[in-house]
Amino acid sequence: MRVLLVEDDPSLASGIRLALKSEHYTVDVLGDGRSALDTLNDGEPFDVVILDLGLPKLDGMSLLKQLRGRDNPVPVLVLTAR
């Protein structure tokens, strides 16, 4: 399973990435919403997105709204400290 983790806190992203990799997931990590949107719009196939809401360049809710507005059906798990 391929996971896109969108998290701007490097230590949190590293910990989540290591935990998922130990369970044999393939994990790509991006640190801002704009990069994530570009990657997802380029047709990169992901099975799930783990999305922080408080991201630079494009916040997580805006990213999610744009994904759904383009009928991208990828499942999204929202991760937030709010």
| CATH number of the domain to which 57 belongs | 3.40.50.2300
Question: How many CA atoms, within 13 angstroms, populate the side-chain half-sphere of residue 6?
Answer: 29
Domain range for 17 is: 2-79
Number of domain units in the chain: 1
- pTM to 2 decimals? 0.93
The number of angstroms, rounded, from the C-alpha of 32 to the middle of its chain's C-alpha atoms is 9
Q: What is the mean pLDDT of each run of 10 residues along the chain (82 residues)?
A: 97 97 98 96 91 96 94 92 74
pLDDT of residue 44: 76
